[in-house]
């Protein structure tokens, strides 16, 4: 990698010579870690032209740095940061800003303070990663995704890559969602009723911003997706948590509200599936209150045990349900591609809000996904993942039974995780920390619950990113760690 000449600037207020300033800039860059060993310096001619100094000045500076072992000369190839140059310190001193800002006063609105689950960035280095939402690279169709990405870069699709869609979306991807994804969930929609988003979380944020105000009430499941509570807090609405049971959200317990957020097909995190009669009761309850429902239909593609129930949106006769879908779980989380389906007036406002924040998801990502889906690679991917996840689930269920662990929820249709309950005396935050020392990752469950006094003994075990052959030993380690925690 080459260091661009534009990296360097001379200080007109400096008392040193130009040569000394150049030497100092390069030495500081190496000592701070900005310039790595083996990186090429700009040619003396290019740097001299950029800085407005003579070429001999730059050459002399380089020569001095070679003598000090900061740089090495490779003949006609030029000058490079020496392989034996001084290494930057492990903890470089922090340079205090010249003028302090009172950020406590300057920040007008705070977005920190929410419950952020602990998810190590280096999760893949753990041998037993029972964490949710990550993918196993061995299961992904890298070759065909690469081909679709290259196809989307071709001359034919150049405008899809480079054009600013303003507030619109890739018509090829919208067409696939309308003709294939939604009909599988029993949903019929028009193009003006669909909006692409940067994942399901972005879709939920758009829905909350459009539908809620300080005076409105939003019902959330308890427990629920913790990021949803943060999103609703930002909307400044009133939140009404309603405890779920083995069939999901109970309609009879829902208080007067304006918007109901629910995960009927695969409740997060308990994996409960809402039966058909309860879905109809939920729609009746919403109709009584003249409330809207936001349905997060995550993981419906992972229904490998039996066909999934139709989406709640498919039963919606009066446009009361707003549907949230995503490709993050079925493809990979870093894709950040989801969609909203709703009545045209809602989608129009959500589209305008999205355009004011980020215009639209990247055109190349949209077109690549459109090709991957329309050419049949997506369906093949889902079938492959379903077989592997079904096998991992069987192995995990057997290991859980063998070691006497308790499943609190597992899902009737499939999915990629188990909702677990430890003995009452176990704090799964402490259990998580202990297991990390044993190369095991689990997800403590406290952050899913609404305060106050959330239960501390629930946790989630996922199997999307751990090979089946490692599952028994990982479960054994969890059981051993639980047994080692003293009972009161």
Q: Which domain holds residue 282?
A: 140-377
β-strands 128-129, 194-197 pairing = unpaired
> Given this model, what pLDDT does residue 135 score?
79
DSSP, residue by residue, 409-452: E--SS--SEEEEE--TT--HHHHHHHHHTTTEE-EESGGGSPSS
**What total number of domains does the chain contain?**
3
Q: Give domain status of residue 103, yes or no.
A: no
> Given this model, what pLDDT does residue 189 score?
95
What are residue 355's phi and psi, to 5 degrees? -65, -30
d(C-alpha 278, C-alpha 281), whole Å: 5
User: Quick one: tokens of 462?
Assistant: 């996922």
Return the number of other C-beta atoms located less than 10 Å from residue 431's C-beta: 22
> Given this model, what pLDDT does residue 13 score?
82
Q: Give domain status of residue 89, yes or no.
A: no
Residue 410 sits in a domain whose CATH number is 3.90.1150.10
d(C-alpha 21, C-alpha 291), whole Å: 67
Output b/e per residue, 450-459; b: 16+ Cβ within 10 A: beeeeebbbb
> Given this model, what pLDDT does residue 92 score?
58
pLDDT in tens, the chain (488 residues): 789 999 999 988 888 899 999 999 999 999 988 999 999 999 999 999 999 999 999 999 999 999 999 999 998 899 999 999 998 876 655 655 566 888 888 888 888 777 666 778 888 899 999 998 887 888 888 899 899 999 988 888 877 777 777 788 999 999 999 998 899 899 999 999 999 999 999 999 999 999 999 999 999 999 999 999 999 999 999 999 999 999 999 999 999 999 999 999 989 999 899 999 999 999 999 999 999 999 999 877 766 666 777 899 999 999 999 999 998 777 777 778 999 999 999 999 999 999 998 888 888 888 999 999 989 998 888 888 889 999 999 999 999 999 999 999 877 676 889 999 999 999 999 999 999 999 999 999 999 999 788 999 999 999 989 999 999 999 999 999 999 988 77
Return the number of other C-beta atoms located less than 10 Å from residue 275's C-beta: 14
Q: Are residues 400 and 333 in the same domain?
A: no
Element (H, E) at 338: strand 338-341
Residue 44 sits in a domain whose CATH number is 1.10.10.10
Return the number of other C-beta atoms located less than 10 Å from residue 227's C-beta: 17
Q: Are residues 195 and 325 in the same domain?
A: yes
- Of the residues 377, 394, 415, which one is the last residue of a structural domain? 377
Question: Which ranges in 168-213 belong to alpha helices (H)?
Answer: 171-176, 182-184, 199-211
d(C-alpha 248, C-alpha 279), whole Å: 10
Residue 424 CA to its chain's centroid (Å): 31
Residue 192 CA neighbour count, 13 Å, CB half = 6
Q: Give domain status of residue 101, yes or no.
A: no
Residue 347 sits in a domain whose CATH number is 3.40.640.10
d(C-alpha 162, C-alpha 189), whole Å: 28
Q: Are residues 360 and 407 in the same domain?
A: no
> Given this model, what pLDDT does residue 416 score?
86
- Of the residues 377, 410, 441, which one is the last residue of a structural domain? 377
Instruction: Give the residue among 216, 212, 257 at the shortest CA–CA distance from 231.
Output: 212
Q: How far does the chain reach from its first CA to its final CA, in angstroms?
A: 59
Q: Are residues 134 and 144 in the same domain?
A: no
Tell me the sheet residues that pair with 406: 421
Torsion of CA 476, 480, 481, 483, to 10 degrees: 140
> Given this model, what pLDDT does residue 359 score?
82
Q: Are residues 332 and 395 in the same domain?
A: no
> Given this model, what pLDDT does residue 386 score?
86
8 Å CB contact between 264 and 279: yes
d(C-alpha 156, C-alpha 159), whole Å: 8
Q: Give domain status of residue 97, yes or no.
A: no
d(C-alpha 186, C-alpha 153), whole Å: 34
User: Quick one: tokens of 315?
Assistant: 């039963």
Q: Are residues 368 and 255 in the same domain?
A: yes
8 Å CB contact between 262 and 272: no
> Given this model, what pLDDT does residue 93 score?
59
């Amino acid at each position: 990698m080459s260091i661009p000449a534009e990296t360097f600037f001379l200080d007109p207020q400096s008392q040193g010579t130009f040569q000394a300033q150049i030497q100092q800039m390069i030495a500081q860059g190496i000592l701070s870690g900005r310039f790595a060993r083996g990186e090429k310096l700009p040619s003396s001619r290019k740097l001299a032209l950029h800085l407005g100094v003579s070429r001999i000045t730059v050459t002399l500076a380089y020569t001095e740095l070679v003598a000090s072992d900061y740089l090495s000369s490779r003949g006609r190839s030029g000058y490079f940061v020496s392989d034996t140059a001084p290494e930057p310190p492990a903890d470089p001193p922090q340079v205090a800003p010249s003028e302090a800002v009172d950020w406590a006063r300057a920040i007008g609105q705070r977005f920190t303070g929410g419950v952020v689950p602990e998810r190590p960035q280096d999760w893949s280095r753990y041998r037993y990663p029972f964490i949710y939402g990550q993918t196993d690279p061995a299961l992904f169709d890298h070759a065909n995704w690469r081909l679709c990405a290259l196809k989307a870069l071709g001359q034919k699709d150049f405008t899809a890559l480079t054009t600013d869609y303003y507030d619109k979306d890739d018509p090829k991807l919208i067409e696939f969602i309308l003709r294939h994804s939604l009909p599988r969930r029993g949903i019929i929609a028009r193009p003006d009723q669909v909006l692409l988003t940067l994942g399901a979380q972005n879709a939920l944020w758009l829905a909350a911003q459009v539908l809620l105000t300080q005076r409105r009430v939003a019902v959330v499941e308890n427990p629920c997706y913790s990021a949803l509570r943060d999103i609703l807090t930002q909307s400044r609405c009133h939140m009404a948590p309603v405890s779920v049971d083995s069939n999901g959200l109970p309609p009879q317990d829902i208080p007067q509200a304006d918007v109901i957020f629910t995960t009927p097909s695969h409740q997060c995190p308990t994996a409960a599936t809402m039966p058909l009669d309860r879905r109809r009761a939920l729609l009746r309850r919403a109709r009584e209150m003249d409330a809207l429902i936001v349905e997060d239909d995550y993981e419906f593609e992972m229904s490998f045990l039996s066909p999934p129930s139709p989406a709640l949106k498919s039963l919606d006769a009066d446009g009361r349900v707003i549907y949230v879908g995503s490709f993050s779980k079925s493809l990979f989380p870093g894709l950040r591609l989801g969609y909203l389906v709703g009545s045209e007036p809602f989608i129009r406002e959500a589209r305008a809000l999205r355009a004011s924040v980020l215009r639209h998801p990247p055109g190349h990502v949209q077109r690549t996904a459109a090709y991957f889906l329309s050419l049949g690679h997506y369906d093949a991917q889902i079938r492959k993942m379903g077989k592997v996840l079904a096998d991992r689930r069987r192995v995990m269920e057997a290991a859980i039974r063998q070691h006497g662990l308790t499943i609190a929820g597992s899902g009737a249709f499939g999915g990629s995780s188990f909702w677990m309950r430890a003995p009452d005396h176990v704090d799964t935050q402490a259990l998580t920390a202990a297991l990390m020392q044993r190369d095991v990752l689990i997800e403590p469950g406290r952050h899913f619950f609404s305060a106050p006094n959330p239960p501390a003994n629930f946790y989630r075990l996922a199997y999307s990113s751990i090979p089946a052959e490692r599952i028994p030993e990982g479960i054994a380690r969890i059981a051993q760690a639980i047994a080692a925690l003293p009972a009161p």
